[in-house]
Amino acid sequence: MTEDLETPASISEQFASIIHLEDKLRIREFLNNQNISDVAELVDEFDEFASQIIGNMSTHRAASVFKILDTSVQKQIIQELPPLKSAELLNELPADDRTSFLEELPSEVVKELIKTLDPEERKITLSLLGYPEGSVGRLMTPDYIAVNADWTMTEVLDHIREVGRESETIDVIYVVNDKGEFVDDMRIRDVIMTSPDKVVSDIIDYRYIALNVNDDQEVANQTFKMNNRVALPVLDDQNILLGIVTIDDVLWVANEEFSEDMQRIGGTEALDEPYLEMPIFKLFQKRIVWMVVLFIGEMLTASAMGYFEDEIAKAVVLALFVPLIISSGGNSGSQASTLIIQAMAVGEITISDWWRVLKREIISGLLLGTVLGIIGFARVIVWSQFFPEVYGIYYIQLGAAVGISLMGVVLWGTISGSMLPIFLKRAGADPAVSSAPFVATLVDVTGLIIYFSVAYLFLRGLML
């Protein structure tokens, strides 16, 4: 008779079995033998032990885990760790990751934490924090390998062996002159595959792609995407090499930007904390401003209805189609604004493409409006056969008014939704502010004006 094999316990089960033993040596050994990503998952699963997990790891591995955690978890860990351990952790973090974490904290807390840094790390951190928020300067790290153009490959390899462990990446080597001015970059593959006595200047082509320290982080995102790089040099206005930006930092920024845009498109301010961890009153503050703005906008809809009160009183049937008209216009506007905001976010279109966008959206609006207009016209004709007392004898003219109105409102919604993000971008604002609810509210008001104006033209002297 064969014995059943026991299923190996998962990492979570193994950790759960030892965390309560208070055997620090065993916990430390267990954590230091796990993959960084697995430890990060343990922190998320056992959030009440987050600081203990980080505190029981070697400093280098703890920093590797810490930098990929959510900001809210990072704050919790720093608050709960003993001062000495938190200082060790912050000093071990790469300068760019440390800066990214500190800029999320209140200024009073930042001042206290900076005091715990080593003099050299403090100098680097203060330098990075001195650059504008959202700039490439906040992303860059000074941990890179730089060599001179007149060095041989042997000297380059010796230098890599000497300082490579402290560098963010050794995949790319940066070439500077005696003044620290950037000359070019080269891949580690080129160094390895080239004859040892070959000079750096012989294998570089002096054609490079670089970022300026004051560039917006969105520029870095687009540059990485267009050039398929793992790291890019960061220069000042005098072409001095200040640091490098790596692809992992840009991916974090892109993810944050995407989350913020999605929240703004939904008609709320961007959340700076995870939804479930944000205090309810702060969440209320983030949402109430847009709610009030949209409510005031919808009040204009009531004003528009009041302006056409006489027409509605004479032909009550017109009121039946108000929800149909304004929702169709709002939907088309929301569709267009979402498509354009997304296309601008990924760099598919720019401000200069506005005319091409407008032409496409006019055609799209006409096609969409025609289809909905035909459906609206058919709806009136069919329903009038069942409810003649509601639609009256002029149901054909009423159907035509509804159909033409739908075409006009959908066309207007499409144009408004597509042009508003571009206009806001041109004005220096965030295109995501032209959220779907905002566009829908705008089109609601104008849609009523279009509808009643068209109805007046078709039904004047008949029902009106």
Task: Report pLDDT for 11.
Answer: 83
Domain boundary among 100, 130, 160: 130
Task: Report pLDDT for 1.
Answer: 41
**For residue 23, what is the domain's CATH number?**
1.25.60.10
Alpha-carbon distance of 202 to 461, in angstroms, equals 88
Give 32's pLDDT tier (boundaries 50, 70, 90): confident
Q: Is residue 140 part of a domain?
A: no
Task: Report pLDDT for 267.
Answer: 52
Sign of CA dihedral 33, 37, 39, 42: negative
Do 398 and 424 have their domain in common? Answer: yes
- Encoded tokens for 289: 């401003």
In DSSP terms, 135 is beta-bridged to 216
Domain that holds residue 74: 11-130
Q: Is residue 103 part of a domain?
A: yes
Mean pLDDT of the chain: 81
**Segment 349-362 mean pLDDT:** 89
Instruction: Please give the C-alpha separations between residue 24 and each of 11, 15, 55, in angstroms, as whole numbers.
Output: 17, 12, 10
Q: Is residue 25 part of a domain?
A: yes
Alpha-carbon distance of 129 to 137, in angstroms, equals 8
Task: Report pLDDT for 260.
Answer: 64
- pLDDT tens-digit map of 248-278: 888 877 776 666 666 555 555 555 566 566 6
**Segment 357-364 mean pLDDT:** 91
Do 68 and 31 have their domain in common? Answer: yes
**Segment 190-201 mean pLDDT:** 88
State the pairing for strand pair 231-235/182-187: unpaired
Give 175's pLDDT tier (boundaries 50, 70, 90): very high
Do 114 and 155 have their domain in common? Answer: no
Give 78's pLDDT tier (boundaries 50, 70, 90): confident
- Encoded tokens for 257: 């930007």
- Residues 105 and 75 sit within 8 Å (Cβ to Cβ): yes
Task: Report pLDDT for 374.
Answer: 92
Sheet containing 172-176: order of strands: 146-148, 172-176, 182-187
Q: How many CB atoms lie within 10 A of CB 291?
A: 13
Do 301 and 235 have their domain in common? Answer: no
pTM of the model: 0.55
Task: Report pLDDT for 411.
Answer: 92
Q: Is residue 268 part of a domain?
A: no
In DSSP terms, 182 is beta-bridged to 176
Task: Specify the range with the lowest mean pLDDT, choosing from 56-60, 66-70, 157-161, 423-427.
Answer: 423-427
* pLDDT of 4 over the 50 cut: no
Q: Which residue has the higher pLDDT, 22 or 64?
A: 64
* pLDDT of 409 over the 80 cut: yes
**For residue 184, what is the domain's CATH number?**
3.10.580.10
Domain boundary among 130, 162, 181: 130
Sign of CA dihedral 306, 309, 312, 318: negative
* pLDDT of 326 over the 60 cut: yes
Task: Report pLDDT for 219.
Answer: 84
List CB contacts of 444: < 8 A, sequence separation 6 or more.
Answer: 297, 298, 301, 326, 329, 330
Give 174's pLDDT tier (boundaries 50, 70, 90): very high
Do 88 and 164 have their domain in common? Answer: no
Q: Is residue 139 part of a domain?
A: no
Q: Is residue 406 part of a domain?
A: yes
Alpha-carbon distance of 149 to 199, in angstroms, equals 7
- pLDDT tens-digit map of 91-116: 888 888 888 888 878 777 887 887 78
Task: Report pLDDT for 5.
Answer: 43
Q: How many CB atoms lie within 10 A of CB 407?
A: 25
* pLDDT of 211 over the 80 cut: yes
Identify the CA nearest to 175 among candidates 162, 161, 159: 159
Q: Which residue has the higher pLDDT, 48 or 22?
A: 48
Do 288 and 319 have their domain in common? Answer: yes
- Residues 353 and 279 sit within 8 Å (Cβ to Cβ): no
